[in-house]
A and B are shown apart, each in its own frame.
Chain A
Amino acid sequence: MSAIGHLAGNIAHELNNPLTGIRSLCQVLLQNQSQQGQVYSDLKEVEMAAARSQKIITNLLNFSKGADRDELKVVSLNELVETTLPLLKSVTSVHQREIHFTLEKTLVKVDPHLTQQVIFNLINNACQAMKEPGRLEIQTSIEGDWVQFTVSDSGPGIPLGLGKTIFDPFVTTKSETGGTGLGLSMSQRVIHQFGGELAYDKDVSCGAKFWFKLPQFNGEENENTHS
């Protein structure tokens, strides 16, 4: 495991212990409270905050695992997108969806779990950007030696001034809804670690278009290969 993986593991342990205590004690105290009371709702908020904190730690841990070469597998990007979409059914179903998968082979060598998280992040961001039902377009394509994933939305687009810092950690447009600002920063780092690139198109007339591309895998198919 890399040095950053060790550090993340140690930090996770140090934080997970008290968080476990906080959350569990809240659950015990909630048992003795009337659901109509102020104390109950306050304790519930504390418990939910602890649960959110635990989730952030899990995400940071997954992120720090990064490109451990032993965990890379040859997979189809089309398949990864296909298996991710059902997880987003509740947020995507309100929008008009256009999904285009290229018929060509989309083999890439990645950590499937982390790549799926990137796909999830980008689609979720697109949906959250659209406060009302809009248009969501998801596409995979082959661009030269690259396999590309693109997601477009018809939301308000990227706020002026945010463009330069949008991939910086802790930058978020979702602070009211609990966004941590780690999604794009982590996603970009994950894709870079697999030899790819993640960016957004600056010249869209409306909404936003984010994409990432990964080197197309043209090696021998072996037991780690999923077609």
Chain B
Amino acid sequence: MVKRMKILIVDDEPLVRIALSRACKTRGHEIIEASGGEEGLDLWIQEQPDLIFLDVLMPDMNGPKVIEKVSHQNRGKIILMSAYTGGYDLKKAQSVGADVFIPKPFDDVFEIIKVAESLFEEAGNKRNS
């Protein structure tokens, strides 16, 4: 059975937020949305989500900058996403503090949710072990 997560989606593209939000809700997760980096940072600190879908390139504050400003404690799992080719890969994403990097476009949004759920479950197993 899938554990319910509180998920924060930070992306300046409305359709990406809507699609990810709807897909997550079909799996029973609670969703908070932010349309930019600064709003995302505020909500991250305020809501303490379990997992964050974080876009890289946003007009006000980019994803890596947002990560930098969040305290390391209880920051949740971070999935960095980008449609900008040639800029990021897993290694680079992990070097800025993300757990996983997912390039856009993604072929199947539900596979992305499964990645998020595995990440969360893994973290839960580590806490309990």
Contacts and interface: CB of A to CB of B under 8 A. Distances in A.
Given A9-B84, A17-B83, A27-B110, 9 more contacts: A1-B86, A17-B15, A17-B16, A20-B13, A21-B17, A24-B19, A27-B19, A28-B22, A61-B85
Interface residues on A, range: 20 to 34
Interface string A9-42: 1001100111111111101100100000000000
Given A24-B109, A27-B109, A16 B22 contact: no
B83 A13 contact: yes
Contacts of B23: 24, 27-28
Interface stretch (B39-47, B62-70, B100-108): B100-108
A61 B106 CA distance: 17
Interface of B: 13-20, 22-23, 26, 57, 82-86, 104-110
A21 B16 contact: yes
Choose among A9, A22, A24 the residue with the greatest number of B CB atoms under 10 Å from its CB: A24
Contact of B105 (A9, A25, A54): A54
A22 B57 CA distance: 19
Interface of A: 1, 9, 12-13, 16-25, 27-28, 31, 51, 54, 61
B24 to A, nearest CB: 10
A21 B18 contact: yes
Contacts of A20: 13, 15-16, 19, 83, 104-106
Contacts of A27: 19, 23, 108-110
Contacts of A51: 107
A27 B86 CA distance: 27
Contacts of A25: 15, 18-19, 22
Contacts of B13: 17-18, 20-21
B83 A16 contact: yes
A81 B75 CA distance: 50
22 contacts: A9-B86, A13-B82, A13-B83, A13-B84, A13-B85, A17-B15, A17-B16, A17-B104, A18-B13, A20-B13, A21-B16, A21-B17, A23-B105, A24-B20, A24-B106, A24-B109, A25-B18, A25-B19, A25-B22, A27-B109, A28-B109, A31-B26
A51 B107 CA distance: 8
A28 B19 contact: yes
